[in-house]
Amino acid sequence: MVFDLHSHTTASDGALAPRELLARARAHGVTCLAITDHDTVDAYLNLTDSGDAGISLCHGIELSANWHGRSVHIVGLNLRLQCDGLHTALAAQQQSRLQRAEVIAKRLSQKGIKDALAGARAFAGNGMIGRPHFARFLVASGKVRDEQQAFRRYLGSGKAGDVQSGWPPVATVTSWIRESGGTAVLAHPAQYKMTNAKLGSLADEFVQAGGTAVEVVSGKQAPELTRRLADLANAKQLLASSGSDFHRPGQAWSELGQQSALPGDVKPVWDAW
């Protein structure tokens, strides 16, 4: 089995429609795929459990949470999609995401960039609006050269579009996943740029809230980073997850099913299913 337990579609900030994602995953040898769009499970609306691509689907999501003023992400795997509590929680998340988008647009307007919300909506379509949609608008409107420059100038950490939304605490988000029958996974911990001590504190609170796994591998990454995160998983008795965090073709470091291998001394999250 080849697992990829973190990927995105046009339901949030990915570039491929759900069926396109499944077809690409199969072409890259994936046999079990989790679609983990931000704060929505809409990608699953028209998919069967096996999908058109003939691979196993693990129902998933990526939820935003707050940890001491920082935004962190928690992936939920093996969710019961029809759980009423899950849909109530998602409605609240989606409202927070819309309010965040409105604030980002207002801040960009103060920088002389007009109609940013409408522009981001156009790129998001029916999906959840995120900063990547604002980045695509900034490129299309000629304000920046590419999406990387959009984040460096306007959307990245400390910039005008870096809005810390009113996300719920880690414990709340973790409880939503557990109450939906899912497994809570701390997503891409290296992206938070925390010291080992702070990352350990985050992991402790996550475990206390009922979290059971951490992404030891997120895309193609350096062996020393994989080792650091494997040690974290073992120290906190967390299962190890692995995903590409695929968003769009052309990004070799996050291609479906091509992520770095899990170390042999961790327990994969799928072994507990």
Residues 6+ apart with CB under 8 A from 148: none
What SS3 state is found at 77? strand
Q: CATH homologous superfamily of domain 3-90+183-272?
A: Metal-dependent hydrolases (3.20.20.140)
The H or E element that residue 17 is part of is none
Domain ranges of the chain: 3-90+183-272
- Summarised one tens digit per residue, pLDDT across range 251-271 is 999 999 999 999 999 999 999
pLDDT, position 47: 82
Tokens of 68: 């001491």
The two beta strands, 70-77 and 239-243, are unpaired
Q: Of the candidates 158, 178, 162, which has an alpha carbon nearest to the alpha carbon of residue 170?
A: 178
What SS3 state is found at 61? strand
The two beta strands, 32-35 and 3-4, are parallel
pLDDT, position 164: 73
For the chain, what is the mean pLDDT? Answer: 94
pLDDT, position 165: 67
pTM: 0.89
Residues 6+ apart with CB under 8 A from 150: 134, 135, 138, 139, 143, 144
Supply φ then ψ for residue 190, to 5 degrees. Answer: -70, -25
232 C-beta neighbours (distance < 10 Å), count: 21
pLDDT, position 142: 97
Q: Of the candidates 255, 207, 225, which has an alpha carbon nearest to the alpha carbon of residue 25?
A: 255
- Summarised one tens digit per residue, pLDDT across range 149-203 is 999 999 998 899 988 768 999 999 999 999 999 999 999 999 999 999 999 999 9
d(CA 218, CA 195): 18
CB 186 within 8 A of CB 72: yes
- Summarised one tens digit per residue, pLDDT across range 51-90 is 455 689 999 999 999 999 898 999 999 999 999 999 999 9
Mean pLDDT of 118-130: 91
Supply φ then ψ for residue 41, to 5 degrees. Answer: -115, 20
What SS3 state is found at 7? strand
pLDDT, position 52: 52
Residues 6+ apart with CB under 8 A from 86: 41, 79, 80, 176, 179, 180
